[in-house]
Amino acid sequence: MSRSAHPAGPRHGDVLPEGHYTAPPADLNALDPKVWARTVERRQADGVLTVGGIDVRTLAAAHGTPAYVLDEDDFRARCRAWREAFGPGADVFYAGKAFLSRAVVRWLHEEGLNLDVCTGGELTTALAGGMPAGRIAMHGNNKSEAEIDRAVEAGVGRIVLDSFQEIARVARAARRHGVRQRVQVRVTVGVEAHTHEFIATAHEDQKFGLALADGTAAEAVRKVLAHGDSLELVGIHSHIGSQIFDMAGFEVSARRVVGLLSAVRDEHGVELPEIDLGGGLGIAYTSEDDPSEPHEIAKALGDIVARECEAAGLALPRLSVEPGRAIAGPTAFTLYEVGTVKPLDGLRTYVSVDGGMSDNIRTALYDAEYAVALASRASDAPPELVRVVGRHCESGDIVVRNAYLPADVVPGDLLAVPATGAYCRSMASNYNHTPRPPVIAVRDGEARVIVRRETEEDLLRLDVG
């Protein structure tokens, strides 16, 4: 198949179309370690990407495309880095919504992390994967009676309360099972995180939590304490958003949460032993992103909480955090095969792959930005501005909005989009009746399926016609 350069589409130095983009990298074959999983390399002999020592062409031949390829060593190393950064005096709860499977639950258990779930399905997966119930936290803004009952019966370590109705529901479930359920109250602290509107979660005008500003959170604490026979209030929870790089928001959040702890002590004579500042720590989706390391985050958050507690005259509570994306996100990439290359004269070249918004909705939903690399070979062709798009019947079916790829990309080439370990499989759909891709875990030269590819038979299995 010919690999001659495309006859149209902007090249480096051309007048470029509107939209966000950067100058092309000096070397299109280079891999930025900030963006890629730790064992991903480009083999010098032929320029093919490898992960865990395995050629991506081998993975594509064995498992098909699209496929999520997960670097197990990297995932485990990130778990250890977070656990060691916060130390024995704090708790790290992996946010299961980022990506969850029974294999992942086993890894978390073996690496000493706890697990945060927010639905009955996530709880079922957590227990099936062997996570001890006492190391599970149950979140959610509208937990059903059945989910609450199942969580209390299983003995989850904490339930994060999100409304007055939920206080009563959890209290009833605890009395029904004859236990005193450990709970936290989730508060909204009025911090506007510098992130997309749909993933900013601590300003008052949104569905999560109980507001500090109008006294609702303080009233929730009173109601929980009134159920002292069935509920044990162990702390306050706050979450200010997602994909956050600036620690200033956490400082404001911690100050306001500690203020509530102080008010609880003054009004009720109780010093709550825990404070959970949530997750939302950002990762590098492109080379422009500059996330902090776990030890830097742990020191910053620890210093913030210690400073605020000292100022309020409070004993230092046990700190909890909930990194999900920061663990899972960088550890996987999505492997696609190019099907169509369509140059538009003077605009850009559209490169269509065999996946799209059904396996990565984040570009369409959040205007998220991703990197992309030619994975099945190296190329010395000049860089060309492209838009990597999917196969779905939507003009918004975009995987990478603006990126540079070698100008000789052709059908049959493999492309890899890094940093897709969080939320891509979790938010995947069957749009256009497309089966969801598999998740392939790679470690030490071996690959195994941890979530199998859906089939058309799977789609029909739910169709009772």
Which residues are CB-neighbours of 383 under 8 A, at least 6 positions away?
A: 11, 12, 24, 25, 28, 404, 405, 406, 407
Residue 199: strand, helix, or coil = helix
Look at residues 326, 314, 295 and name the one whose alpha carbon lies nearest to residue 257.
314
Q: Domain 139-323 belongs to what topology?
A: TIM Barrel (3.20.20)
The token pair at 132 is 């001890």
| Residue 1 confidence (pLDDT) above 50 | no
pLDDT band at residue 3, thresholds of 50, 70 and 90?
A: very low
Q: How far apart are CA 38 and CA 71, in angstroms?
A: 8
| Residue 42 confidence (pLDDT) above 60 | yes
pLDDT at residue 278 in the model: 92
Percent of the chain with pLDDT over 70: 92
Amino acid letter, residue 232: E
pLDDT band at residue 190, thresholds of 50, 70 and 90?
A: confident
Question: How do residues 191-234 score in pLDDT, each as one tens digit?
Answer: 765 543 433 444 566 788 999 999 999 999 999 999 999 999 99
pLDDT at residue 191 in the model: 74
pLDDT at residue 21 in the model: 57
Alpha helical stretches, state H, 41-192: 56-63, 72-86, 102-110, 120-128, 145-154, 164-177
Backbone angles phi, psi at 308, to 5 degrees: -70, -40
Q: Of the residues 79, 118, 309, 393, which is catalytic? A: 393
Look at residues 62, 135, 24 and name the one whose alpha carbon lies nearest to residue 371.
24
β pairing state of 114-117 and 158-161:
unpaired
pLDDT at residue 200 in the model: 41
Question: How do residues 311-338 score in pLDDT, each as one tens digit?
Answer: 999 999 999 999 999 999 999 999 999 9
Residues 150, 176 contacting (CB under 8 angstroms): no
Q: How far apart are CA 184 and CA 397, in angstroms?
A: 40
Instruction: Give pTM, 2 decimals.
Output: 0.92
pLDDT at residue 36 in the model: 98
pLDDT band at residue 12, thresholds of 50, 70 and 90?
A: very low
Q: Could you tell me the residue ranges of all domains in the chain?
A: 41-71+330-461, 139-323
Q: How far apart are CA 413 and CA 430, in angstroms?
A: 25
CA end-to-end distance (rounded Å), the chain: 44
Q: How far apart are CA 222 and CA 311, in angstroms?
A: 24
Which residues are CB-neighbours of 406 under 8 A, at least 6 positions away?
A: 28, 374, 379, 380, 381, 382, 383, 384
| H-helix or E-strand spanning residue 300 | helix 294-312
Longest C-alpha distance within the chain, in Å?
Answer: 77
Alpha helical stretches, state H, 181-282: 216-226, 248-268
What average pLDDT does range 169-176 have in this prediction? 98
Q: Residue 308: exposed, middle, or buried by beta-carbon count in 10 A (0-12, 13-18, 19+)?
A: buried
Superfamily of domain 41-71+330-461: Lyase, Ornithine Decarboxylase; Chain A, domain 1 (2.40.37.10)
Task: Give catalytic status of residue 393 as yes or no.
Answer: yes
pLDDT at residue 20 in the model: 52
What average pLDDT does range 17-33 have in this prediction? 78
β pairing state of 383-389 and 439-443:
unpaired
**What is residue 281's DSSP assignment?**
B
Q: Residue 14: exposed, middle, or buried by beta-carbon count in 10 A (0-12, 13-18, 19+)?
A: exposed
Q: What is the mean pLDDT of the chain?
A: 92
What average pLDDT does range 290-315 have in this prediction? 94
| Residue 306 confidence (pLDDT) above 60 | yes
Q: Residue 177: exposed, middle, or buried by beta-carbon count in 10 A (0-12, 13-18, 19+)?
A: middle
Look at residues 363, 274, 356 and name the one whose alpha carbon lies nearest to residue 314.
274
